[in-house]
Amino acid sequence: MARVHILDIRVESFGIKNLLLSWRLHQLVCSGSMQDHIRQLTTPGYLVNPTQQEAQHAAITVVTATTLVLAYASMIALYPSAVAPELAKTLGGSSSVVGLQVSLVFGGGVLSSLVGGALTRRLGPCRASQLSLALLVSGALLLTAPSLITFVSASLLAGLGYGLTNPAASMLLVRYTPASRRGLVFSIKQTGVPLGGVIAGASAPLIAVTFSWQAGLWVFAALGVAGIVLLHSRSSDWDTLREPNTRWLVTPFNGVALVWRHKSLRQLAVLSFMLAGIQLSISAFTVAMLVEELAFPLVMAGFVMAALQVCGVAGRIFWGWLGDRLGDRLLALGLIMSITAVGCGLLFSMTPDWPRSLIMLVLCVLGSASLGWNGIYMAEVARFSPPDRIADAAGGCLVVTYSGVLLGLPLVTLLHLWLSSYTAVFGILALVVLLAFVPLKTAYRQALPG
């Protein structure tokens, strides 16, 4: 009989009941491919002679844990943006300064991604996830100190934790989930990013108004500590294949070098650089475009932005499922890019005379695509990686991905200063998406047999 692990209560303890993942996860791990997956789990370092029920339970636990860790990282990263006016009063500056925090977080993410793969192999994916949570908790607590210096330091510290989440998650998901379902399970894990944003956006302002903006960070820090404690019970199972002698600090560019040597990984990384910049731009400038150029009221524009994020959550799951269903995740990625290009092109042609309902429909469809590519991308990175270097490949690819986030927003800002039109900027982004088909085509050719 399968054991019931204490980690299963993490959905409740993090207050994310609305995930509603358990039923869907049960379906995907109960597929016919589970028999092959059970045989995979009998190799050294996995479960010993697992029953089908134990293999299903292990897969559900891993997907739930990795999704929640990523959701927590997103909550901490986006918390300052959710309380920007209150935070600005404390820091004594403009609320626009808080926008730099996202760049600082992803700057820290780039740094930790450089060593994330090797560090994950040294510590094991469970201990690496605990370290990630510890860095995020430390960043949250440091952020409560009312100082611009601590604000910068806290954002970088949280970014270091953010960057460690995906290498550890990739190693666990490849070990404990069926290969035929990885598009879906990686996509479910990636829903942690927008879900964390939704949770921060819904709870942080309420806590700030009722108590103080620092109180929310204390609550979130306590949740992170609880997560570290709960993960401890899984270390003996998840970290059995760790390599304690791995030198992780003296060779920080090993993951990037690995990606560069493998043409498919290199093309995927270049592709992610473009898509990450476009994703951030759509998230960052939609409200401004709606209000300043399409005559939307601010409240309605905020509602459209929230709807776009929700569609991004649904899109990540749908595209992951479709990629597995088609048996060709790169084809699904091509469909995502096609919809994104068409959507950005439609934004370019919009005027205030367009029906608001049609504008909202276009943005929601665009959100489901432009925010929905990440899970498929991470699943393909795992597929093209050497089996013993999955964490390194994930870290190396994410250095490039996060660089797209880091550089994308300033570049789009400069474009807007030049063109004085957000719709025109989105027209240029449509061309960037079309350019991204070049690395996709190259990666697709590499994936063909023979």
Pick from 159, 187, 193: which is nearest to 173 by CA? 187
Would you say residue 39 has pLDDT above 60? no
pLDDT score recorded for residue 84: 67
Q: What is the pLDDT of residues 293-342, one digit of tens each?
A: 898 887 788 778 778 888 988 999 999 999 989 888 899 999 999 999 99
> What is the residue type of 388?
D
Q: What is the pLDDT of residues 422-436, one digit of tens each?
A: 899 999 999 999 999
Would you say residue 248 has pLDDT above 70? no
More confident residue, 234 or 254: 234
Which of 43-47, 70-74, 210-214, 232-236 shows the lowest per-residue confidence on average (mean pLDDT)? 43-47
Mean pLDDT of 382-390: 84
Q: What is the pLDDT of residues 144-200, one digit of tens each?
A: 887 778 888 998 999 999 989 988 888 888 888 887 788 888 888 888 888 887 788
pLDDT score recorded for residue 337: 95
Q: What is the pLDDT of residues 82-136, one digit of tens each?
A: 776 677 777 776 555 555 677 788 888 888 888 888 888 889 999 999 999 999 9
pLDDT score recorded for residue 40: 46
For 16, 79, 81, 201, the CA distances from 208, given in Å and listed in that order, are: 20, 11, 12, 11
The conformation of residue 247, written as its DSSP 8-state character, comes to -
Token digits of residue 295: 């005559």
Q: What is the average pLDDT score of the chain? A: 81
Pick from 18, 67, 7: which is nearest to 203 by CA? 18
Pairwise CA distance, residues 45 & 129, whole Å: 18
pTM of the model: 0.74
* Domains, the chain, with CATH or none: 1-251 (1.20.1250.20), 253-450 (1.20.1250.20)
The conformation of residue 334, written as its DSSP 8-state character, comes to H
Pairwise CA distance, residues 283 & 372, whole Å: 13
Q: What is the pLDDT of residues 291-300, one digit of tens each?
A: 888 988 877 8
Q: Which stretch, 19-28, 254-263, 345-354, has highest mean pLDDT?
A: 345-354
Q: What is the pLDDT of residues 249-265, one digit of tens each?
A: 666 677 888 888 888 89
pLDDT score recorded for residue 389: 82
Which of 68-77, 240-249, 292-301 shows the lowest per-residue confidence on average (mean pLDDT)? 240-249
pLDDT exceeding 70 applies to what percent of the chain? 84
Specify the DSSP element, H or E, that contains 292: helix 263-293
Residue 96's Cβ-count burial label (10 Å; 0-12, 13-18, 19+) is: exposed
Would you say residue 31 has pLDDT above 80? no
pLDDT score recorded for residue 50: 60
Token digits of residue 63: 């997907």
pLDDT exceeding 90 applies to what percent of the chain? 28
Alpha helices in 355-421 (DSSP H): 356-370, 374-384, 390-419
pLDDT score recorded for residue 99: 55
pLDDT score recorded for residue 249: 67
